[in-house]
Amino acid sequence: MDEFELISRYFSNCGAKRHDTGIGVGDDAAVLQVRDGCDLVITTDTMVAGTHFFPDADPRALGHKLVAVNVSDIAAMGAEPAWLSLAITLPSVDETWLSAFAAGLHETAEYYNCQLVGGDTTRGPMSLTMVAKGIVPRGKAITRSGAKVGDYIYVTGTLGDAALGLKLCQGLHEVSKKHQTHILQRFHFPSARVALGQALRNIASSAMDLSDGLYSDIQHILKRSGVGASIDVSRLPLSQAVKDSCDNATAMQLALSGGEDYELLFTVPEAKRGSLDVLLSPYGIAITCIGRITGVAGKLELKQAEQPFNYVHSGFIHF
Ligand code: ADP
Ligand code: MG
């Protein structure tokens, strides 16, 4: 099978069929009909075999995850995901692998109403790069730089599940049978908080998605907003699976330093707080207040029931 057959078989009808796609896969470039009065939001994520996933990982899960982690960045900006591009490098043409990978891409892209509109296909050590493009009403994107002193800090969902899933896969931690499905789902098939991200547009002062873990990710908001944060670790939302599988110290480690949960971290001013529960309840995803923004620029203070919480962070270091 040559490159063009491969593209047409696996990547030419992938994801939703959007009416605002002028030209998708097949020409020199895609043509996208961005709505009047909107900003285009673009993000890129790469997954390298051996670094970001096990070389023998389930290809359907890889396809899912590649879309979900890119869409998660679009969601964190409060934007609507619309179009995807895929640059894929493969050591060889393995049709069993490709059809499962393409199925994962397709079902997840369709779920988020995204269309695959282009890419590049090359031979080499396996690497998967996706570009996601989204749209947001002009000037309404939620950034990392808007947090203000006194704002309340929230996270969606629960923290540490994906990191526990990774440990389970690596044989480093035991999880009882009844929780395994949930934990593995959270690790292999993460969800992007798309609808909730858009609902935060007129509520949140800043937002980001959690890919590297709360402890290191929140520093990006602190740096870009020029503020500090105080977090009460006893309020960190934990799943029943994490509670049942880990002692308290391990649970804290997973929730603070575990990566790949793809939950949203956001800040809300006092004045908007009252409407928060009502406005976000239709989305069916729990949100939890975990602390406040402080005026001590760059400082992250961890507390447990009003006492300082001593914590040694050990996160994923990219370089
Ligand atoms: P060019 O040489 O002009 O860059 P290619 O021959 O690389 O174009 O690609 C042909 C078409 O197939 C283009 O529309 C390109 O965007 C698309 N394409 C190539 N690889 C992929 C892929 N992995 N997924 C989706 N579309 C792809
Ligand atoms: Mg060309």
User: Which protein residue has the closest C-alpha to ligand 1 atom 10?
Assistant: 26
Both structure tokens of 45: 């994520």
- The answer to whether 254 and 241 have CB atoms below 8 angstroms apart is no
Q: How far is residue 233's CA from residue 302's CA, in Å, rounded to a whole number?
A: 7
For residue 11, give the ligand nearest its CA: 1
Q: What distance in angstroms lies between residue 23's CA and the mean position of ligand 1's atoms?
A: 12
β partners of residue 291: 153, 231
Q: How confident is the model at residue 251 (pLDDT cuts 50, 70, 90)?
A: very high
pLDDT at 312 > cutoff 80: yes
The pLDDT of 156-177, averaged and rounded, is: 96
Could you read off the pLDDT of 53-67 as tens digits, one per residue?
998 999 999 999 999
Predicted pLDDT of residue 305? 85
The pLDDT of 213-220, averaged and rounded, is: 98
Atom of ligand 1 at shortest range from CA of 116 = 25
Could you read off the pLDDT of 4-47 as tens digits, one per residue?
999 999 999 999 999 999 999 999 999 999 999 999 999 999 99
| Residue 171 vs residues 80, 167, 175: alpha-carbon distances, Å | 38, 6, 10
List the one residue out of 156, 139, 148, 142 whose CA is nearest residue 286: 156
Q: How confident is the model at residue 213 (pLDDT cuts 50, 70, 90)?
A: very high
List the one residue out of 187, 202, 206, 87 whose CA is nearest residue 142: 206
Both structure tokens of 102: 């393409």
User: Do strands 127-137 and 80-90 pair parallel, antiparallel, or not at all (unpaired)?
Assistant: antiparallel
Does the beta carbon of 86 lie inside 6 Å of ligand 1? yes
Both structure tokens of 161: 């599940």
Per cent of the chain over pLDDT 70 is 99
Per cent of the chain over pLDDT 90 is 93
Predicted pLDDT of residue 316? 65
Q: How far is residue 172's CA from residue 124's CA, in Å, rounded to a whole number?
A: 31
Q: How confident is the model at residue 317 (pLDDT cuts 50, 70, 90)?
A: low
Q: What distance in angstroms lies between residue 42's CA and the mean position of ligand 2's atoms?
A: 22
Predicted pLDDT of residue 153? 98
Predicted pLDDT of residue 308? 96
* Centroid of chain to Cα 10: 25
For residue 26, give the ligand nearest its CA: 1
Q: How confident is the model at residue 164 (pLDDT cuts 50, 70, 90)?
A: very high
User: Which protein residue has the closest C-alpha to ligand 1 atom 22?
Assistant: 119
pTM of the model as a whole: 0.95
Could you read off the pLDDT of 256-308 as tens digits, one per residue?
999 999 999 999 999 999 889 888 989 999 999 999 999 999 999 999 989 99
Could you read off the pLDDT of 123-140 as tens digits, one per residue?
999 999 999 999 999 999
User: Do strands 115-123 and 80-90 pair parallel, antiparallel, or not at all (unpaired)?
Assistant: parallel
pLDDT at 233 > cutoff 80: yes
Predicted pLDDT of residue 318? 67
Predicted pLDDT of residue 51? 92
